[in-house]
Amino acid sequence: MGSTQPVGKDGVEFEAKWALEPAALSPAQAAAMVELAAELPADRASPTPADGSVIGSWDGAPRSVLRGAKCEGVVIDWMRWSGPRERVGDVEGVLDARFGPAMQGKTGRFRLQASKRWAGGAGVFYDYVGKYAAAHCVVDLPGSFLAPVPGADRVQLMRVLLAMGFKPTRLDLGIDWRGVGIELIGAMRTACEGGELCGARRWQPYREFSGRRVLGDGLGIGKRGKDGSGRYVRGYDKGLETGEEPEGRWVRLELELSDDCAAQAAAIICGVGQWEAAAVELVLGAVDFREVTGDKHLAKRPRAGWWAAVLGGMTGARVVASRSASKLGSCVQWLKVGVFAPLRAHAESVGMSLVELVRFLGVDQVPASRSAGLSAVGHQLRELVKECRDAGRALPATVAELMPGGLRLAVDLGPC
């Protein structure tokens, strides 16, 4: 795709020179941003410093922690997006116009077959057209690829991708400090050891050596993956990581957002004028450190002095992944695709027929001689049936159709 004006599936031309005119938005892009802003909760629509100032007046450099280090600003360090497969050509055209022509990759990623790749590790990943081709594609833009791109241009690229119908699945934001003897990492580690950490439970320090030489220093707060909160905080020595500075000269506080949290943060950053201030609040609001007083109520515990100094008057903004309520319909689908086949195997392993096992799942007690053979799947199904019965609800008629061999739950379990 060498076109300078890639055309989307709806005929709207996306400005390929977005890096030169970061404020320009097509009518379709502007409409998409208005819609995104309307969906934001009122308390998240315009995060700003407590005093209404911009990032330029936020020093963020308390002597006790950062030793007068200079805050070099906030960066958007990594972006990963998922969107309609038919937009592959549009994304390729936009990136070609800014970074040069892509090369056809030899392999794909993210369980997708094919890819278009650029220097610096960036790529668009998709499936070839076919009966079983995935309907989505993935755009992965790592920090090494975005390094030469100004921050305002990165935000404009985010706006273009949002207008194309893409949703961010990963977004990394970071605040950099440069100076001499910066002690932020040590202060965070000491605070975690002392129980001051709030807003997360898991934390893990790390320090890497080669002989006596320090190669890396930092700590991670939170947990990645499906069991995490969607917010993973890292404080680490960026100078050691890049090999550009000795220890304590360049420190980064980084927030890695995923899925719903990444989508909320992207909408906030793209929907406000002062994107840097919004990004700083998101990073500083991801975790908190409060004094250990024995009080169970977080609001009654004063904020740790060193962390209050780092905040420098910022209030912090926090995005939280939305949790959709579990419904019986989704449970039925889960039973259909992932339960009854292994359930039959479990029945055979304890010397029971499937009908006998299901009958036992519907009663209050399972004989001790056989309950030990039930797996977590079996117990989970038993609890589902019992919960339905206790609530006085009837199981849907479709459940009977899910049982192998035509087994009818209404007959074998009785009315719920």
Mean pLDDT of 198-220: 91
Q: Of 18-22, 45-49, 107-111, which one has max mean pLDDT?
A: 107-111
Q: How far apart are CA 78 and CA 112, in angstroms?
A: 20
Q: How far apart are CA 124 and CA 117, in angstroms?
A: 7
Amino acid, single-letter form, for residue 307: W
Share above pLDDT 90 across residues of the chain, in percent, rounded to a whole number: 33
pLDDT of residue 69: 55
pLDDT tens for each residue of 175-202: 998 887 788 899 999 999 999 998 888 9
Predicted TM-score of the model (pTM)? 0.65
Contact 286, 307 (CB under 8 A): no
Q: Give the model's confidence band at 399: pLDDT under 50 very low, under 70 low, under 90 confident, else very high.
A: very low
DSSP three-state, residue 326: coil
Taking CA 380 as the corner, what is the angle to CA 377 and CA 383, rounded to the nearest 5 degrees?
155
Closest CA to 367 of 381, 389, 351, 380: 351
Tokens 């707060």, residue located: 221
- Dihedral angle at the C-alpha atoms of 310, 314, 315, 321, nearest 10 degrees? -80
pLDDT of residue 401: 41
Please provide the size of the chain in residues.
416
The residues pairing with 232 across neighbouring beta strands, listed in sequence order, are 256
pLDDT of residue 349: 80
DSSP three-state, residue 110: coil
pLDDT of 65 strictly over 80 = no
CB atoms within 10 A of CB 294: 5
Which residue would you say has higher pLDDT here, 229 or 416?
229
Contact 85, 98 (CB under 8 A): no
Q: What is the CA radius of gyration of the chain?
A: 26
Contact 294, 322 (CB under 8 A): no
DSSP-derived secondary structure letter, 7: B
Closest CA to 270 of 59, 17, 39, 96: 39
Going by C-beta distance under 8 Å and a sequence separation of 6 or more, which residues neighbour residue 245? 178, 238, 239
Q: Give the mean pLDDT of the chain.
A: 74
**Paired sense of beta strands 250-258 and 231-237, if any:** antiparallel
